Amino acid sequence: MSSSQSIPRSSPVSHVRSTVTIGPEIITNLSGDEWDRAISGFADACYEQTERLQGAKWGDNRVRRMAISINGKIVAMALAIVLKLPILNRGLALVKFGPLWRRKGELPDRQVLGLALDALVDQLMVHERLSLSIMPPPDPRFAAIWVEELHQRHFEHRPFQDAERFLVNTALSPERQLASLDQRWRYNLKSALRNELLVGLEEPSAALADFGMLCESMRNRKNYSNPLWPLFEKALSSHHTPAISPALVLVREKGNAIAGAIIVQIGDTAYYAVGASNDRGIKLNAGYALQWWIVAWLRDRQCHWYDLGEAVPGSGLRQFKKGLVGKGGAIEHLPGEFIFSPDVLSAVAARLLLGVRRMRLVLRVWIRESKGLLSPQQRQRR
């Protein structure tokens, strides 16, 4: 769905059609390459639902790929990660930012979302006796639809705490985008643009080493490295379906890379996956020039949202992202998880697995707060 056809953020649920009348076919035997080719046809596609950028790291035994077809046309897709407790022979299926149900160039049909949810319940809960956890995407245009469809199927809602997502509205004109920026952000952008920096897409085969050096510089400076970097380093080093290939954007000063980012855009939302800069890049405000270039690039690619991800409350990174989102974007809280268990034993397994996962997330945030966001002098005092 192009930005000219996208539903406004304030659109009521009634603006989404509901016309499906033919029984669907569930396809579970698509190969990874077939899956990624098919996923590129969806406006709500994201890298969490791809095989190469998500499923491959888990292995076939813990991944379930399900596509819904009507009259030979795939209308919905969902990639689930399955975690099991061996003794109980029960577990949890996790679907992040899926199922996908909005095909590019077509009006969204909420009944397709319902069909996809029913298929997941049937395959994963009824047949595999797994609890099912679904995390809807943080897209304010369709939030009400997700909640209604999940509640109709008796999913239990579990909200997240402090899970902000920073969404830049890349459908704005350049003039409105500039006016939308926070005043401080706009000031730093103008400062960066005076430095005659060169920003642009670069071929991974030639520039991946430069970005790796930036990541190493950031790790040494912050004592923190993005856990997604190894995954995307591998992805950029290997062949991919072109429509789902990550993009590498670098900022150079006199030929030297001083900042960069890996961006993924498959549907009408782009994702800021990994970013890094060195000391020179920070001094020249290269991150401002970098993000401003990316926003303009995404605007030309018919993108609606640029998802900057999350940020630790009170951090400088949060202020940076908030300033770029500005008045024209949106700061959305992740809708949380919606969980449904087929029986008591599955519910117990789900609680255990979710508890372990939450502890890992808390530990990761604590490490980042105590190390990654402190200066070397502050870390020494600790």
Contact 210, 260 (CB under 8 A): yes
The dihedral through the CA atoms of 6, 8, 9, 10 has a sign that is negative
| Residue of 79, 162, 165, 160 lying closest to 354 (CA atoms) | 160
- 305: exposed, middle or buried (C-beta count within 10 Å: 0-12, 13-18, 19+)? buried
DSSP secondary structure letters along 115-176: HHHHHHIIIIIIIT-EEEEEE----TTTHHHHHHHHHHTTPEEEPPSS-EEEEEETTS-HHH
Predicted pLDDT of residue 14:
40
Is residue 7 very low, low, confident or very high in pLDDT (cuts 50, 70, 90)? Answer: very low
Lowest mean pLDDT among 44-53, 241-250, 267-276, 355-364: 355-364
Q: Which residues, at least 6 apart from 197, have a Cβ–Cβ distance to it below 8 Å?
A: 251, 252, 253, 258, 284, 286, 289
DSSP secondary structure letters along 38-90: HHTTBTT--GGG-TTTTGGGT-GGGEEEEEEEETTEEEEEEEEEEEEETTTTE
- Rounded to a whole number of angstroms, the CA Rg of the chain reads 21
| Residue of 109, 24, 119 lying closest to 80 (CA atoms) | 119
Q: Where is pLDDT greater, at 191 or 22?
A: 191
SS3 at position 365: helix
Q: Please report which helix (H) or strand (E) contains residue 274, including its range.
A: strand 269-277
CATH 3.40.630.30 residue window(s) in the chain: 3-161+335-370, 165-332
Is residue 11 very low, low, confident or very high in pLDDT (cuts 50, 70, 90)? Answer: very low
Per-residue pLDDT tens over the stretch 335-353: 889 999 888 777 777 777 7
Contact 252, 258 (CB under 8 A): yes
Per-residue pLDDT tens over the stretch 159-191: 887 689 999 999 999 999 999 999 999 999 999
End-to-end CA distance of the chain: 51
pLDDT of residue 84 exceeding 90, the answer is no
Q: Where is pLDDT greater, at 251 or 310?
A: 251
Predicted pLDDT of residue 364:
52
| Residue of 79, 84, 92 lying closest to 52 (CA atoms) | 79
| Residue of 110, 106, 144, 108 lying closest to 12 (CA atoms) | 144
Per-residue pLDDT tens over the stretch 175-232: 999 999 999 999 999 999 999 899 999 999 899 999 999 999 998 888 877 888 888 8
CATH topology classification for 165-332:
Aminopeptidase (3.40.630)
Q: What is the mean pLDDT of residues 76-89?
A: 87
User: What gap in Å lies between CA 19 and CA 209, rounded to an integer?
Assistant: 50
Predicted pLDDT of residue 322:
96
Per-residue pLDDT tens over the stretch 126-135: 999 898 999 9
Per-residue pLDDT tens over the stretch 268-327: 999 999 999 999 999 999 999 999 999 999 999 989 999 999 888 888 899 999 999 999
Lowest mean pLDDT among 238-247, 258-267, 308-317, 330-339: 238-247
CATH of 3-161+335-370, one of 3.20.20.80, 3.40.50.620, 3.40.630.30, 3.30.70.360: 3.40.630.30
Phi, psi of 307 (to 5 degrees): -85, 110
pLDDT of residue 30 exceeding 50, the answer is yes
User: What gap in Å lies between CA 233 and CA 144, rounded to an integer?
Assistant: 36
User: What gap in Å lies between CA 99 and CA 374, rounded to an integer?
Assistant: 38
Average pLDDT over the chain reads 85
Predicted pLDDT of residue 255:
95
Q: In the Cβ-directed half-sphere of 22, how many Cα atoms lie within 13 Å?
A: 9
Is residue 57 very low, low, confident or very high in pLDDT (cuts 50, 70, 90)? Answer: confident
**What strand order describes the sheet that includes 25-27?**
25-27, 63-70, 73-85, 90-96, 130-135, 337-340, 156-158
| Residue of 320, 317, 268, 272 lying closest to 294 (CA atoms) | 272
User: Percentage of the chain surpassing pLDDT 90?
Assistant: 61
**Torsion angle of C-alpha atoms 200, 201, 205, 211, degrees rounded to 10:** 60
Q: What is the mean pLDDT of residues 35-60?
A: 91
Lowest mean pLDDT among 170-179, 246-255, 258-267, 372-381: 372-381
pLDDT of residue 86 exceeding 80, the answer is no
DSSP secondary structure letters along 340-361: E-SSHHHHHHHHHHHHHHHHHH
Phi, psi of 269 (to 5 degrees): -125, 130
What amino acid is encoded at 112 in this protein?
A: V
CB neighbourhood size of 7 (10 A): 18
Lowest mean pLDDT among 84-88, 253-257, 365-369: 365-369
User: What gap in Å lies between CA 37 and CA 26, rounded to an integer?
Assistant: 17
Lowest mean pLDDT among 30-34, 253-257, 281-285: 30-34
Q: Where is pLDDT greater, at 259 or 239?
A: 259
